Amino acid sequence: MKADVPRFEQSKLPTSLQREGPSHIRLGVAGILALMSCLLYLDRFAVGIASEYIREDFLMTQTQMSWFLSAFFWSYALSQVPAGWLSDRFGPRRMLTAYILAWSAFTGLLGFAKQVWMVLHLRLYCGAAQAGAYPVCGGLIRHWFPVSQRGAASSIIALGGRAGGVLAPILTAWLIVAFATTGWVPDFVEADLVDESSMVTRFRECVTEGVTKIPLIGGFVGPFPESLKTKLHDAAAATTLNRPPPRKTDARSFLSNWVPRLNEGAGEGSRKSVRVTGDDMDSECCRLILSEMNHRLDDHSFVTRENLNGLRLLPRAQQLLDKKEAGEKNSRIETRLLNRLTFEAAFPMLFKKFYGRGWRPTLIAYGLVGLMVAMAFAWVARDTPTQHPGCNDAERNLIDNGRPRTAEVMEPRTTPFPWNGMLMNVSLWGNSLMQFFTNIGWLFVVTWLPRYLDKVHGVPLAGQALMTAVPAAAGIIGMFGGGWWTDLMVSRTGLKWGRRLPIVSTRFVAALGYLICLVLGMTCTPGPMAPWIPWGIVFGLSIMCLGVDLGVPAVWAYSQDVGGKYTASIHGWSNMWGNIGAAVAPLIYNAILGESPSLAQWNWLFASCAFVFVLSGLCAFVIDAAKPISR
């Protein structure tokens, strides 16, 4: 009878190695997995921050945007189990390297998308590629860490994801502004107008609605030829718009790089009072309007406090206007930026947001960073400690807790998938439904929170980025404590309550966070006199994220406890249900809010999210990590 023999025998090692302490390769593996997790959330959150710019770029409705945000999570959810099985079959190092390369490539290609269908397809592919990340992490943690450290290791890796959640809104907003200001965009991005085909109609609506209220618009339309004025609005309004033309400038057209087809032929000749009729009228109007706008961009005297008449400017434009009126001279670039942002505010139906031009190069940059992370992971990680040349015998014994690993290593990778054990396990179903309801409530922070801050409280992009980052930062605090808490509970109460109690209690804490938002929404009226209200909402959402993330290490450790050799597959199964919740969440939000939600509808959304967290906590009561899942 052949006895199991450990792969490494201390008696055969040199004396110096016998006395050697354990190496720390497992910490390097945890570190590179945390970096991967940070990238995972960076790519995922970036699209949420840029969603309004993407929607505007492709003329999408809020309903279409809901499906766009949902598309990622549908493929992410449905690919969880296949991705986990592929990791069990072919090895985590090989598969996770492929997953990182794939989702980074798809993220970068989003910056080159020209049509809505391209964006939707790339988000579907990105979700499928990201699906394998956390199931693979679960398998690697099981191989590289002893049972007593799995909660802490899970906490470290999940912490990387939450760090990415904090970094994403701030970094994405900064990059969008930086790229928009420098003007770097892909060559095919020609237009900075919302819709070239309806430009004249939209411009006429802007003028008709704003000419009697905003002197700046009247002064702008003044130099137009009578034929154009007649087409833009009625003769009575046109007669009030005769103003002297602006001074001539030889500066290169600011907009001609974005709309070359419309600007072709525009110049001094376009200032003459020409009359065109028939099908040529719209194209002639476009050329005249753009020519006039181009000439105005270098006009230092174009924007004044008086002719704005209450027109709301972005904070950056307001700073430049304050600087000019304080007697300081703006540079040519600053003058152009002030005038461009003023056009955006005066003609909101005509112009895309200036800073929105930066979302494409931002996603391209994230894709390039992901390629480097993939190479770093392949260099640092191995499937098991025995395969890593830097992992010594002492560290392997520490990981094994003195137990031989021979049987596990010799196990064939082609193990059947444990369908029967998964489908019949009540504990696993409780864990899966808990994650389903959790993600319905949690996803608001990463998708619709910037929209809420913009539409309800008028928070600018930089403020939206900061406020979106705060709940994710609160989640980091939860991650720090969650791993330690669940490991401590296991040592004192056993696996069953050591995993169950942290999960149940934190779902109810998350519900409390949304109730805080609901109370503020129902009792406080948003407005410039109450700038603290959005911060109060952010505080409630921070309580929610703190609660959710305090329980995440216990959720991860549960899959490792019950999964055994099927850990990646079991983790993928539970994660699949969680992300089905994330997939339906934007659709639920949109059903509650509609295209133009009122404050009452936002409050209904807060109440609904609180309710689903209560359901999540109730489902967690059947979780039992002490009962492994078998075939």
The pLDDT of residue 285 = 66
Q: Is the pLDDT of residue 185 over 70?
A: no
Q: How far is CA 507 from CA 156, 220, 430, 439, 586, in A?
A: 21, 56, 13, 11, 20
Q: Tokens for 295, please give them.
A: 């000439």
The pLDDT of residue 228 = 62
Q: Tokens for 554, please give them.
A: 């216990």
Choice among 77-86, 198-207, 230-239 with the minimum mean pLDDT: 230-239
60 phi/psi in degrees, rounded to 5: -90, 145
- List, as own/partner pairs, every contact residues 430-433 make where C-beta atoms lie below 8 angstroms and the sequence separation is at least 24, other chains included: 430/619, 430/620, 430/621, 430/622, 430/623, 431/555, 431/558, 431/559, 431/574, 431/619, 431/620, 431/623, 432/573, 432/574, 432/576, 432/577, 432/578, 433/577, 433/616, 433/619
Separation between Cα atoms, residue 619 and residue 504, nearest integer Å: 8
Residues of the chain with CATH 1.20.1250.20: 22-187+357-622
Q: What percent of the chain shows pLDDT beyond 70?
A: 74
Choice among 55-69, 312-326, 400-414 with the minimum mean pLDDT: 400-414
The answer to whether residues 68 and 119 touch, using CB atoms and an 8 Å cutoff, is: yes
The answer to whether residues 73 and 44 touch, using CB atoms and an 8 Å cutoff, is: no
Task: Give the best-scoring range by mean pLDDT among 477-481, 587-591, 609-613.
Answer: 609-613
Separation between Cα atoms, residue 176 and residue 183, nearest integer Å: 10
Q: How confident is the model at residue 417 (pLDDT cuts 50, 70, 90)?
A: low
Query: What CATH superfamily classification does 22-187+357-622 receive?
Result: MFS general substrate transporter like domains (1.20.1250.20)
Separation between Cα atoms, residue 40 and residue 168, nearest integer Å: 10
The answer to whether residues 32 and 380 touch, using CB atoms and an 8 Å cutoff, is: yes
Q: Is the pLDDT of residue 344 over 90?
A: no
Q: How confident is the model at residue 370 (pLDDT cuts 50, 70, 90)?
A: very high
The pLDDT of residue 220 = 66
Q: Which residues contact 291 (CB under 8 A, 6 or more apart)?
A: 263, 266, 267, 270, 271
DSSP letters spanning 13-56: S-HHHHTPPP--HHHHHHHHHHHHHHHHHHHHHHHHHTHHHHHH
The pLDDT of residue 411 = 45
Separation between Cα atoms, residue 217 and residue 152, nearest integer Å: 61
Of the candidates 18, 76, 231, the one whose C-alpha atom is nearest the C-alpha of residue 585 is 76
Q: Tell me the one-letter amino acid at 351.
A: F
Separation between Cα atoms, residue 601 and residue 521, nearest integer Å: 10
DSSP letters spanning 140-170: HHHHHS-GGGHHHHHHHHHHHHHHHHHHHHH
Of the candidates 363, 362, 380, 369, the one whose C-alpha atom is nearest the C-alpha of residue 101 is 369
Q: Which residues contact 46 (CB under 8 A, 6 or more apart)?
A: 107, 168, 172, 362, 363, 366
Q: Taking each helix axis from N to C terminus, what angle separates 332-346 and 280-296, rounded to the nearest 10 degrees? A: 140
Mean local confidence (pLDDT), 357-361: 84
Q: Is the pLDDT of residue 499 over 60?
A: yes
- The DSSP 8-state label assigned to residue 351 in this structure reads B
Q: Which residues contact 631 (CB under 8 A, 6 or more apart)?
A: 416, 418, 420, 421
Mean local confidence (pLDDT), 452-476: 83
Q: Is the pLDDT of residue 464 over 90?
A: no
Residue for token pair 């002197």? 215
Q: How confident is the model at residue 518 (pLDDT cuts 50, 70, 90)?
A: very high
Higher pLDDT residue, 126 or 525?
126
The pLDDT of residue 84 = 73
- The DSSP 8-state label assigned to residue 193 in this structure reads B
Q: Is the pLDDT of residue 407 over 80?
A: no
Separation between Cα atoms, residue 293 and residue 291, nearest integer Å: 5
Q: How confident is the model at residue 99 (pLDDT cuts 50, 70, 90)?
A: very high
- In this predicted model, what pLDDT tens digit does every residue of 241-282 receive, in sequence order? 444 444 333 223 333 333 333 333 333 333 333 333 334 455
Q: How far is CA 204 from CA 8, 184, 208, 278, 280, in A?
A: 82, 31, 6, 18, 17
The pLDDT of residue 528 = 64
The pLDDT of residue 12 = 45
Q: Round to the nearest angstrom and report the end-to-end CA distance of the chain.
A: 28
Choice among 67-71, 89-93, 281-285, 477-481 with the minimum mean pLDDT: 281-285
Q: How confident is the model at residue 195 (pLDDT cuts 50, 70, 90)?
A: low
Render the burial of 536-560: b for 16+ CB within 10 Å, e for the rest. bbbbbbbbbbbbbbbbbbbbbbbbb
The pLDDT of residue 368 = 93
Separation between Cα atoms, residue 51 and residue 448, nearest integer Å: 9
The answer to whether residues 631 and 418 touch, using CB atoms and an 8 Å cutoff, is: yes
- List, as own/partner pairs, every contact residues 264-271 make where C-beta atoms lie below 8 angstroms and the sequence separation is at least 24, other chains included: 266/290, 266/291, 266/294, 267/291, 271/223, 271/245
193 phi/psi in degrees, rounded to 5: -100, 150
Higher pLDDT residue, 607 or 381?
607
Higher pLDDT residue, 270 or 19?
19
The answer to whether residues 596 and 405 touch, using CB atoms and an 8 Å cutoff, is: no
Give CA angle at 179 (173, 181), nearest 5°: 100
Alpha helices (runs of H) in 79-131, residue ranges in sequence order:
80-90, 92-110, 116-130
The pLDDT of residue 190 = 47
Average pLDDT score, the chain: 75
Handedness of CA 112, 117, 120, 122 (dihedral sign): negative
The pLDDT of residue 255 = 34
Task: Give the best-scoring range by mean pLDDT among 8-22, 246-260, 477-491.
Answer: 477-491
Separation between Cα atoms, residue 506 and residue 508, nearest integer Å: 5
- In this predicted model, what pLDDT tens digit does every residue of 593-617 receive, in sequence order? 887 788 999 999 999 999 999 999 9
Separation between Cα atoms, residue 441 and residue 42, nearest integer Å: 20
Choice among 27-41, 60-74, 331-345, 390-404 with the minimum mean pLDDT: 390-404
Q: What percent of the chain shows pLDDT beyond 90?
A: 16
